[in-house]
Structure 1
C-alpha cells in the first residue's frame, strides 16, 4: 500500500502552463502565492493629474458615460474605465448608449460553468483557474473590470440567481471567492465583487429593506466580502439594489464607510449596481465612487449634472470629489490601464480556455444515486440508447435576464454523447417535454412575472408517446431534465420547487417502460426531486456547465471521469423545510426580516434535526473511500495558534477517484446559541485504488470565533470543541476533541 501526504496552503500555487499554448498566457496564469495589494507607488502622479482636472472632468469620471464604462479625461491620458459582465464568461459587446448588441464579430468568448458548478468542485485551485482564464479573456477584449464574482449567500432555494451564486455556507464561499479573485486580478483586471450586501432575493430587490441582526450579518452574510477585501485585495465592490436597515446600500454609511473602509481597510472603488442610486450628496458622502445605470441619459445620473450643481452650490466640496477620483485613478494605475507598458494582452475563446471550462465542469458533476452500480455505463451488449428531454439539446450560454455569453462552442448533452459513444451505438432522441410558458415577458426587469415564469406543465401527447417508444426500443434510456436559464433568471425568484414542464410525469412514464433509465438533472438551484429520486435507481446532478459541459457530462456517464462534485447547498425534501420558509420570512414585502438568524442552509437542517433529501457537501463516487486515523498535532491550543488536523484517506474501490475531506466543528456546551456544526476546513484529494494519503487540514483557532455583539469583536469561546471529519454534513466518519484555552 502506497502512502503519500497531501500538502495544503491558503493559496494553491498552480502553474497552468500545460493548459495554455502561448507565452503570454503561460506568463499570466501562474497563480501568485500572495495577492497584489493596491500600491501607493502612483500617489504623487495621481495628485498631479487631479490638480490639472476641471470640476466637470472629475465628475465625468464618477458616472457611466456608456452602458459599461465610466468617463476618462482624454487630454490627460486618462482612459475610460471599461467594464464587462462576466459570471459565465465575458459578455458580448453592448452598444454605448443602449442595451442592444454592438454587432461585433470578434467578441465571441468562452462560456464557463456557473458559480454554483464551480463551488460544487470544492477545489480552490479550480477557482483560481477560473479567475485566471476569464482574466485572460477580459484582457483580450481590452476590459479593466469584471463585474464578478457574485458571492451572495444562497438563503432560499427559490432564488432566481442561485445558479450565479456559490453556496449557502460562508466558509466555502470565502475560500472559493478568494482564489477566484486572486487568479483574475493577477491578469491586470479588477474584480468587482457583488452584490454588497444581503442581496439574497430577486423579489422586490429594488427597494426591499433587509433586516438582519448584527451577529448573523457578520457570521453568515459578510465573511466572503471581508475575505475578498482582506485576503484577496479585491480592487472593486458593487453596491446592491436593496436597502439595509433603512438605507439603500449605495448610500449606506454603515456598510460602505464604517465596515468596508474603516473596519476592513478597503482602498478600491465602490461601483453601483445598474440604476441602484437614489441620491447625489448622500451617496457620494456615504461611500459610493461610480454610478452606473440605465436607461436615462447619462447626464441625468445623480453623479452627473446633479453633482456638478451640488458642488457649485457648496453642498459637497471639491476636496470630497477628489477623494473618489483618486480612488478610481489608483485602480486604473494598478491594472496598468494608465502607463502600463507591460500590461497582459490576453487571449480569448482558445482551445486552452475551453479545456479550462471542461476541467471545472468535469469536477462539478454530482452523483446523487447509483443503485446496482448502473454507472458508469457499461456498453457491452448495448446497441441503442434513448436520449430523452428538452435539456438534452437546450443551450444556456444565452437566456434569461442578465449576463450571458456569446460563444461559438456550447456542447449540449446530446452532442457530448454523440462525441463520446462509438459509432456502432444508435442514439434514439426524443424531446419528451416542451419548454412552454403561460406568460413570459422576457427582458423586462422585475416583470418576468410576479413570482417567476409561469410554466405550462401538461405534456404534449405526441411528444410523450415518441419518448415512450424511444425508451421501449432502446437498451438504455437517459432522461435529461431539470431547468434552464430562461426559467432560473435574474430579476425573478421561482414560485415553487416543482419541476417545470411536466417532467416528473415524463420521468415516471420512461422508468415504467425501461428499468435501465438514468436521470440527469441540469439546473443551477434545488428542485423538488423527491419523487424522481424514489422512482429511479440512478440520478446525476449537473449544472449550466459551460462550453464543454456536454463532453464533461458524457465522460462522467461513461466512466472516463469519476464524479467528484459535492452539493454546495442543501437539497430539501420540500420548500417548507428550508429556514427562510420554515420561519415564513421570505420574501417579505417592503421589508424582510431574516428570522432564522445564523441557521442558514445545513445549519438549520442539522440544528433543528430536519432530514434533507440530499445534504450539503454530499456526492457519490464510482469508488469508495475509508477515513481513518484522525488526529490533531496536539490537544490544547491558544487563540493565536492553528489546529493541524489530519486524516488518512484510503481508496478501497477499484478505480481512481477524488474525495473531498470536510471538517465541521461543534461546541455542545456553548454559552451562546450556535449551529449544531459549521464547516471550517476542506480539501480535495486524488487517490488511486489501493492507495492511501494523509490529508492535513489547517484550521486557525480564530476560525472558531463568534461575533460578540456586546463587545463588537470576534470572540473565541474557551473550552472543548469537537472536530467532525466526513464527506458530507450528514456523513461524519470520525471525530476528535480539542481544547481551546
Structure 2
C-alpha cells in the first residue's frame, strides 16, 4: 500500500471517519496526519458548487459557471477531440472553484426514451458512450483533478431508482451496459466511479461483489475510488467489503461507529478497511497537489462561453431541409415565434443544473444577423396551458414573414432527474401552434430543444428541422449560426427516433413499477433492435444532414484496420462522421444485425478527398460468452460496414475466418425470439432461459391485501401500504402537496418533492438529512409505520435525546480543543 506508514499511525476511529463525508460535499480532514478535505461537486456539463446551504437536487443556487451542452448534446458531435477539449475547460473551472472531484460524466445507456435523465447520458450505443466519456474524462483530469464516471451500473430509469432491482442476463450486462464504464476505466483512466442507487440481480451495486470485485477491481484492474451516489449506501459494511471507499454525504458518524463495531466483533477484517483508506488517500493527495501551486485562479468567462458555443455548433443536428431552405438567404423576412426563443431551454434539471455565467437568447442577438426581422410572438404557454389568443397573435405575425423560425420542445420540468416521462410527445399546445402556422402557407423552420427522443409525427408540417438538443448557455447563437450558414451543421444523432413509442424494444418492460425491472429485450437496444427486425424509424441512429454532400470510395480492410476515402462533392466546407459497423455472419450465438465499433469526424474543403483509417481495437469483434464467462472472438465471417448512419451504408467488405471456435449453451429452439430479434414481447419462460435461472417476483410482497411490512428500503410512496394510518397519511400527504404545488405553478419544487421525498427509501430519511433523523429515530418511525405506534414513538423520542446529548458533547469537545490551542 502506498500510504501504509500513514495508515499504521492512524487510530481505528480516524480510519473509519474517512469512509463517509464530513458534510454534504466534502470529505473528512485529519490535521494531525496532514490529510486535507477534498470537495466533490456536480459537474457533468458545468460546475455546480453551492456557496451556502448544500443540497443534492438543485434547490439552492450555485456559484456561476459555464453551462456547456449536456452529454446528450455533446454525443451528437461524434468528436472525441472536442469532448476532450470541453473536458479540459470543465476541469479548469473546477480548479478555479477549488473542486477536487467533478461528478461526471454520466455514462448510462439510453435504454428507453422515457428515462427522465437521458439528457445527462450520451447514447443508446455503448461504444459511442464509452468513447465520448473517455475523452471527456481525459480532458477533465488533465487539470490534476478527478472525474467521476457514473452511475455504475444499469441505472436506466428514474422511477423508484433508489430501490429498483435490475434483472439482466450476464451477456447483456457486459456488452451493452458495462462496456462504456470499461472504456472509461481503461481508456479514460477515471480516478473515481460513482455507484448507482439500484440493485443488479438482487444486490445493491456498491455491495455487489461480482460488479465491484470480479469485474471492476480484478478484470479491469481498477485502483481508483468508488463513491456512493448521495444517500445510496444500504449496508455500509457490505459496501466496504466490496471496495466502496467513500459514502456520501455525511452520516454524522453513525456508519463510522458501524465500521468500528464490525472490526471489533470480527465481522470486518481491518486490512479491508486499510485498503479502502489507502485508495481514498491516494485520491485525496493526488487531487490536492494542484492547489499547492498558484494555478487555481479565475477563468476567462468569455473564452469559456465561446467554447460552449463551439461545442453546441458541432452538436446541432439538421434533421430536415426541404428544397435546401437552409441556410436562410439574406434579407428574407423572418418571424420568430416560441417562448424558447426568448427564454431558451438549454439544460436539464436536478443535480446537474448549472447557474450560468451568462445566457444568449435569440431575441437579444438577432440584430447581429442579416435578417429582415419582422417581430416575435410567444406563441404558447411554456408549461402546456392552451391559449388561442397566443396562437392567433403568432399567426398574425406570420402573415408578415417569408420564413417562420419556430422554437419548440420540452420544458425543464418534463425532463428531470428522479422522474421519468409518461410519453414521448411534446406539449399539445405547441403542436397546435405548428399546425396553424403551417396553414398560413409560409415556410416553417422548427428549432427543437429537448434532451432525448420525442415523437416527431408533426415534422411533416415543417420545411426544416434543426435539433439543438440542450445546447448550453451559448446555444442561441450557435443555432443562428447554423440557420444562416455561418456554420455548416455536422451533428449526427446519438440515438434513434422511432415512429411510435410502441416500437421501442423495452416499451413493455419500462419502467419497473414495483420490485424490479426486467431487461427482457437483452442486447436489442436502440438501432440494434430496429435494424435487426427491420422496424423503420423516423430518424435513425447516426443520422444528420449537411449543407454539402459526401462520397465514399476505395475501401480496404486487413486484420488491423479499415481505410477508405471520403470526398466533399458539394461547394461548401463541411464535416462528415464516418461510422464503422461490424456484422457477424453465420454465428452460433444470437447477434444483432450490426454494431458500431468505430467512427471518425472528417473536415473537408469543397472538392477535397481524404483517406480515412479506423483501427480495430479490443472491442471490434468480441462478444461475451456466458458459457465460458470470457470475452471471445468467434470464428466466422465479419462484414465491415462503413456508413453515414445506421441505415445509410456506403461501403462494405468481408473479413473471413477471424477468431476461434466457440462453445455455447444457447439452444436456438429455446431462445427463438432472441435468435430472430423479435424481443418486444418476450415471455417470462424465455427470459428465464436467457438468465439461466428463475426470474424473481416483480410484485410487492403483501402480507394481506394492500398491506406490507415497512423496512429500511421501503419508499415513502410505499407507506400508503403500511399498517398504521401515520404512514399512509405521510405518503398521501406528500402526493397531495405535490399536486398543490403543480396547481400553483411551483413545478420545480413539486418535482423535487417527488424525487427527493416520495421515492426516497426509509434509510434516506436518515442518510440524506445530515443527522436530522438518526438511525435510531428511523427505527422508531418504522415501528410506528408497522403498527407499534407507542413503542415506536418512545423509541423516536429517546433516540432524539441521545442524539442531542451526543451533539452537545461534541460541541463541548470542539470548544475545549479551541481553548487548548
The TM-score, its normalising length taken from structure 2, stands at 0.77
1:95 to 46, 49, 52: 52
1:299-318 matched pairs, under 5 angstroms: 299=252, 301=254, 303-318=255-270
Task: Report SS of the residue matched to 1:739.
Answer: strand
* In structure 1, distance between residues paired with 2:450 and 2:291: 42
Residue 82 (structure 1) aligns with: 39
1:631 to 553, 556, 563: 556
Q: Is the deviation greater in 110-119 or in 483-492?
A: 483-492
Contact 2:17 2:253 in 1 (8 A): no
Q: 2:328 maps to which residue?
A: 377
Query: Shift of residue 349 of structure 1?
Result: 5.2
**Corresponding position of 2:359:** 410
Deviation, 1:655, is 0.7
Q: Distance in 2 between matches of 1:343 and 1:50?
A: 30
Question: Which residue does the alignment assign to 1:495?
Answer: 422
CA RMSD, 1 decimal:
2.0
Deviation of 1:350 after TM superposition, in Å, equals 2.3
Match of 1:224 in 2: 180
Residue aligning to 2:500: 574
Aligned partners of 1:415 and 1:550 also within 8 Å: no
Aligned to 1:661: 578
Indicate if the aligned counterparts of 2:318 and 2:546 stay in contact, CA closer than 8 A. Answer: yes
* 1:688 alignment partner in structure 2: 605
Contact persistence 1:93–1:102 (CA under 8 A): no
User: 1:452 is matched with which residue?
Assistant: none
Distance in 1, matches of 2:572 and 2:522, equals: 43
2:171 aligned partner? 215
Partner residue, 2:812: none
In the other structure, the counterpart of 2:142 is 186
Q: 1:102 to 1:485 in 2, by over 3 A?
A: closer
The structure-2 alpha-carbon separation of the partners of 1:470 and 1:199, relative to structure 1 and needing over 3 Å to count, comes to same
CA distance in 1, matches of 2:629, 2:420: 34
CA apart distance, 1:75: 2.1
Give me the whole-angstrom Cα distance separating, in 1, the residues matched to 2:556 and 2:9: 63
> Who is 1:421 aligned against?
369
> Which runs of structure 2 are paired with 1:45-194 in the superposition (5 Å)?
46-95=3-52, 107-194=63-150
Structure 1 segment 239-258 matched on structure 2, within 5 A? 239-258=195-214
State the partner residue of 1:453. Answer: none
Give the direction of change, closer, same or farther, for the CA distance of 1:283–1:370 in structure 2 (3 Å limit): same
Structure 1 counterpart of 2:443 = 516
Determine if the alignment matches structure 1 residue 563 to structure 2 residue 489. Answer: yes
- For the structure 1 residues 187 and 432, does the alpha-carbon distance in structure 2 shift closer, same or farther, using more than 3 Å as the test? same
Are residue 389 (structure 1) and residue 306 (structure 2) matched? Answer: no
Distance 1:193 1:393, change over 3 A: same
* Counterpart selection for 1:435 from 368, 375, 382: 382
Question: 1:485 deviation in Å?
Answer: 2.6
Deviations 1:524-559 (A, max 9, x none): 1111112x2111121111121112111111100000
Cα distance in 1, alignment partners of residues 585 and 34 from structure 2: 61
* Cα distance change on mapping 1:101 and 1:463 into 2, 3 Å: closer
Looking at structure 2, the residues matched to 101 and 667 of structure 1 have their Cα atoms a distance apart, in angstroms, of 46
1:215/1:708 contact within 8 Å kept: yes
Contact in 2 for aligned 1:239/1:249 (Cα 8 Å): yes
Q: Does 1:543 align with 2:469?
A: yes
- For 2:637 and 2:269, locate their aligned partners in 1 and report how far apart those are by CA, in whole Å: 55
- Provide the C-alpha distance between the structure 2 equivalents of 1:399 and 1:631, rounded to a whole number of angstroms: 43
Distance, in Å, in 2 between the alignment partners of 1:207 and 1:584 is 17
Q: Which consecutive unaligned segments of at least 5 residues does structure 1 have?
A: 1-42, 437-455
Distance across 2 between alignment mates of 1:339 and 1:500: 48
Q: Is the 8 A contact 2:496 2:539 kept in 1?
A: yes
Once the two structures are TM-superposed, the CA of residue 370 in structure 1 deviates from its matched residue by 0.4
Aligned-residue offset at 1:719: 2.5
Task: Indicate the larger mover: 482-491 or 392-401.
Answer: 392-401
Pairing of 1:708-727 with structure 2 (within 5 A): 708-727=625-644
1:101 deviates by 8.6
SS in 2 for 1:551: helix
Shift of 1:685: 0.4
Equivalent position of 2:271 in the other structure: 319
Q: Please give the TM-score of this superposition, normalised by the length of structure 1.
A: 0.86
Tell me the CA shift for residue 427 of structure 1: 4.1
Q: Tell me if the contact between 1:94 and 1:101 (Cα under 8 Å) persists in the aligned partners.
A: no
Q: How far apart are 1:65 and its partner, in Å?
A: 1.4
Q: In 2, distance between residues paired with 1:517 and 1:398?
A: 25
Aligned residue number for residue 334 of structure 1: 286
Match of residue 24 from structure 1: none
Contact 2:58 2:353 in 1 (8 A): no
More helix by share: 2
CA distance in 2, matches of 1:164, 1:357: 16
Q: Secondary structure of 1:648's match?
A: strand
SS at match of 2:132: helix
Contact between 2:144 and 2:290, CA under 8 Å: does it hold in 1? no
Instruction: For residue 282 of structure 1, report the CA deviation from its aligned partner.
Output: 1.3
Asked whether the equivalents of residues 86 and 147 of structure 1 are also in contact (C-alpha less than 8 Å), the reply is yes
Bigger mean CA offset, 202-211 vs 555-564: 202-211
Higher relative contact order (CA 8 A, sep 6+): 1
- In structure 2, list runs of 5 or more residues that go unmatched: 659-821
Q: How many residue pairs are counted as aligned between the two chains?
A: 658
* Structure 1 residue 92: Cα displacement: 3.5
Shift of 1:284: 1.2
Cα distance change of structure 1 residues 398 and 600 upon mapping to structure 2, 3 Å threshold: closer
Q: Is the 8 A contact 2:86 2:139 kept in 1?
A: yes
For residues 57 and 551 of structure 2, the distance between their equivalents in structure 1, rounded to whole angstroms, comes to: 55
- The equivalent residue for 1:281 is 237
After TM superposition, give the deviation of residue 519 of structure 1 in Å. Answer: 0.8
1:200 and 2:156 correspond: yes
Map Cα deviations across residues 205-236 of structure 1 (whole Å, 9 max, x no partner).
11110011111111000111111112221110
* C-alpha distance 376-395 of structure 1, shift in aligned 2 (>3 A): closer
